[in-house]
C-alpha cells in the first residue's frame, strides 16, 4: 500500500516536472515579445502643459465607437448634463450642439475660471483629451467626473455628443 501511494506521488511530481520543463524550454526556444499597439496616447509630463499629446489618428480612434454605445455610456454624464435640444443646464452645462462651441461660451451657465480661460473649441480631439481626465486636461475646472479611461467609451460618447447637434461635424 505504501509503495502504491509512493508511485502515485512520484508520477504526479514527474508529470509536473515534465510540464513545467517543456514550458520553460519552449519559452527559451521561442522567445515571444509583446505586440505593438496600433495607436498610442502619451501622457503629459508634469512640468509641461496640462494637455495630452496625441499620437493617434483621430479617424482610427473615432472608428472604435458607435452612437448606440455612446448613448448608454452618456447616462453617466446625464446626472449633471442635458443633451437634448433646448435642455436646461443642470450641475453642468447643457451639451446640445457642444461640438465647435468654445469652452465656457454657453450663456446662462456659471463656468469655472479655468474653463472660461481655456478658450479652445470643442472638437473630436479636444473632447477626447477632456473626457479622458477632465481635471488634468483643464486644471482647475469644476467638473468632478474622474473621466472615461476606455477608448471605446470615449469615442462612443463623442460620437453621441456630435450627433446631438443642430449641425453634426463630419467624422474625421
pTM above 0.75, yes or no: no
Q: What is the pLDDT of residues 43-96, one digit of tens each?
A: 544 443 333 444 458 888 999 999 999 999 999 999 999 999 999 999 999 999
Q: Distance between CA atoms of 11 and 64, rounded to whole angstroms?
A: 51
Q: What are residue 93's phi and psi, to 5 degrees?
A: -70, 155
Q: How far apart are the first and last CA of the chain?
A: 75
Taken in order 94, 97, 99, 105, is the CA torsion positive or negative?
Answer: negative
Q: What is the pLDDT of residue 48?
A: 39
* Residue among 130, 122, 127 at smallest CA distance from 146: 130
Q: What is the pLDDT of residue 2?
A: 76
For 57, 71, 119, 147, 157, the CA distances from 76, given in Å and listed in that order, are 26, 10, 25, 10, 10
Q: What is the pLDDT of residue 55?
A: 40
Q: What is the pLDDT of residues 20-48, one digit of tens each?
A: 888 888 888 877 666 555 555 555 444 43
Q: Residue 111 CB: number of other CB atoms within 10 A?
A: 17
Q: What is the pLDDT of residue 77?
A: 92
How would you class 162 by CB atoms within 10 Å of its CB: exposed for 0-12, middle for 13-18, buried for 19 or more?
buried
Q: What is the pLDDT of residue 17?
A: 93
Q: What is the pLDDT of residue 46?
A: 47
Q: What is the pLDDT of residues 91-128, one digit of tens each?
A: 999 999 999 899 988 888 999 999 899 989 999 999 99
Per the listing, cell 508529470 goes with 15
What cell was used for 163? Answer: 450627433
Q: For residue 54, what are the β-bridge partners?
A: 41
Q: What is the pLDDT of residues 156-171, one digit of tens each?
A: 999 999 999 999 999 8
What cell was used for 43? Answer: 501622457
Amino acid at each position: 500500500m505504501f509503495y502504491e501511494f509512493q508511485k502515485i506521488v512520484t508520477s504526479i511530481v514527474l508529470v509536473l516536472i515534465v510540464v513545467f520543463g517543456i514550458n520553460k524550454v519552449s519559452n527559451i526556444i521561442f522567445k515571444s515579445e509583446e505586440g505593438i499597439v496600433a495607436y498610442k496616447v502619451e501622457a503629459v509630463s508634469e512640468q509641461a502643459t496640462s494637455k495630452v499629446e496625441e499620437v493617434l489618428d483621430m479617424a482610427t480612434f473615432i472608428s472604435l465607437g458607435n452612437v448606440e454605445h455612446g448613448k448608454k455610456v452618456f447616462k453617466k454624464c446625464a446626472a449633471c448634463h442635458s443633451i437634448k435640444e433646448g435642455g436646461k443646464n443642470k450641475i453642468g452645462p447643457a451639451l446640445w450642439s457642444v461640438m465647435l462651441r468654445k469652452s465656457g461660451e454657453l450663456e446662462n451657465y456659471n463656468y469655472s475660471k479655468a474653463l472660461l480661460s481655456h478658450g479652445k473649441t470643442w472638437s473630436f480631439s479636444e473632447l477626447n483629451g477632456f473626457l479622458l481626465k477632465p481635471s488634468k486636461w483643464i486644471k482647475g475646472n469644476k467638473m468632478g467626473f474622474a473621466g472615461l479611461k476606455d477608448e471605446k467609451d470615449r469615442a462612443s460618447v463623442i460620437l453621441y455628443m456630435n450627433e446631438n447637434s443642430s449641425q453634426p461635424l463630419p467624422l474625421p
